[in-house]
Amino acid sequence: MILRPELEDYKIVGYYLGKVTIGIGLCMLIPLAIARFYAESQPMIYFLLGISLTLLIGFSLAVVCHTKSDLETRHAMAVSALSWLMAMFVSAVPLYLSGHFGSYLDACFEAMSGYATTGLSLAQDLDHMAKSINFWRHLMMFLGGQGIVVIALTFLFRGTAGAFRMYAGEARDEKILPNVVQTSRFIWMVSIIYLVIGSTALFASAMVGGLKPINAIFDSVCIFIAAFDTGGFTPHSQNILFYHNFSFEMITIVLMVLGAMNFALHYALWSGNRKELLKNIEIVTLSITVTATLSIAAWGLVENGVYAGLFPFFSKTFYQLISAHTGTGYSTIYPRQFTNEWGPLSMLGIMIAMAIGGSVCSTTGGIKLLRVGVIYKALRQDIKRMLLPETAVLMQKVHHIKNIILNDRHVRSAALILLSYSVLYLIGTIVGMLHGFSLSEASFESISASANVGLSCGITSPFMPTVMKFVYIFQMWAGRLEFMAIFVLAGMILSTIKGRR
């Protein structure tokens, strides 16, 4: 029998959703300040309207639903799932008012793509977009990469027992430090330190490449945000190809890899544990999967006679592969080149890389390296068990920051996520094929949206079917939260309709 939620359950969800919404509204003050700095009067009005609406919704929820009750797991999961939808709706307001989006739905698509660190874009005339609007697109990636709930944990919540439950609802169930609020602040500290270092390196490279200082500063900060948070937005419609700068590309590769690393691994390295790089199952798995997927992509390109020579191979093939595997979506080629030049086999290598993704507890999406490593170890363990005598006791260890004894719970969790992503990839592929796209094209775009990558083979545009826009928004949302929070939210809605007292 399904029990219907009590009034207090709704109040708890509403109260904490209101607090998160307030946090989003406060974050809009940053692009408002950018608009003031660049004397962009119209965008200032757009952001003032967006801030007013967001704070009104946030404070209304917090006041009407005020409660002193703490979050239980189901409440925290529901808040996490709803927070991303709320963030999309309110953050799309200044985007839509800017006039660079054909509809409010397109602006919502852009906002979800930003928060989910996907990078697929429906912006029109991007090269003439106001600096503040463009920066807001990138700031959403920074906020989404750290986690919308992480923002609330850092600034708005003070040690609630439900804090970790909300943190886990954003597909981050690893505490780097004993206290989850301290963990959130460590994530911010790492990101800000890398922001200073990475933006400085990009600025120097951009200056050498011929950009004016004021443009170099703006572009460097935006590119860092989207690279470290494995997003994929850039201030220009040509993406990274706009810069025609090899050193710029190399810096972004480093930033993409750093962004795809587990924050717990960052903590281990910052604490002086350098050997973790050689032992960690995620890094070992990454090395193997990069080699395998690069080989598949290279094989297809050799067959098609594309990119002869080491330099173009590295600048094009390797760059796209790393961008795909880290879930970033930066590109040094035009989208249609995937289908017109690369061909199905090379696209398959990129699709596998996108589907796997980076590390757990990082800013990237996809199935994740840890789960791939766990499933491989479990398969290896089962094969050994069949070969050894029945009386033999077999233990399989996995090294992830520390040695972990592999058990059925780990394998079951990894397998369920693998299955869920596979179904999500399949849904988008079927929808794409129903709208007339080939299997390779539909699969490529579906995996890119679901794994929060942002590479496109040319399907994503303001003129694509409305149904596909809704499907991709759902895929980006579900892929970023890794399903569990959405399943719980769906369960609460179902119990509200069919549950009994």
| Contact residues for 393 (Cβ-Cβ < 8 A; gap 6+) | none
- 392 lies in some domain: no
Cα separation, 491 vs 498, in Å, equals: 10
Which helix (H) or strand (E) covers residue 261, if one does?
A: none
Q: What is the pLDDT along the chain (501 residues), one digit of tens a residue?
A: 566 777 888 898 899 899 889 989 999 999 999 999 999 999 999 999 999 999 999 999 999 998 887 777 788 888 888 999 999 999 999 999 999 999 999 999 999 999 999 999 999 999 999 999 999 999 999 888 777 766 665 555 555 555 555 555 455 555 565 556 666 677 778 888 888 999 999 999 999 988 999 999 999 999 999 998 888 899 999 999 999 899 999 999 999 999 888 888 888 887 788 888 888 889 999 999 999 999 999 999 988 888 777 777 778 899 999 999 999 999 999 999 999 999 999 999 999 999 999 888 777 889 999 899 889 888 888 787 787 776 666 677 777 777 778 778 888 888 999 999 999 999 999 999 999 999 999 999 999 999 999 999 999 999 999 999 999 999 999 998 888 888 888 888 888 877 666
3-class DSSP string for 173-234: CCCCCCCHHHHHHHHHHHHHHHHHHHHHHHHHHHHHCCCCHHHHHHHHHHHHHHHHCCCCCC
Assess if residue 307 is contained within a domain: no
Position 201 in a domain: no
Q: How far apart are CA 195 and CA 202, in angstroms?
A: 10
Domain count, the chain: 1
The pair of three-digit structure tokens given for residue 437, joined into one six-digit string: 């796209």
Contact 373, 398 (CB under 8 A): yes
Residue 247 in any domain: the answer is no
192 located within any domain: no
Residue 467 lies in a domain: no
Is position 387 within any domain?
no
Strand segments, DSSP code E, in 324-428 are 397-400, 402-405
Cα–Cα distance, 356 to 322 (Å, whole number): 12
Which pTM value belongs to this model? 0.91
Q: By residue range, what is the domain housing residue 72?
A: 1-173+485-501
Is residue 484 within 8 A of residue 169, CB to CB? The reply is yes
492 within some domain: yes
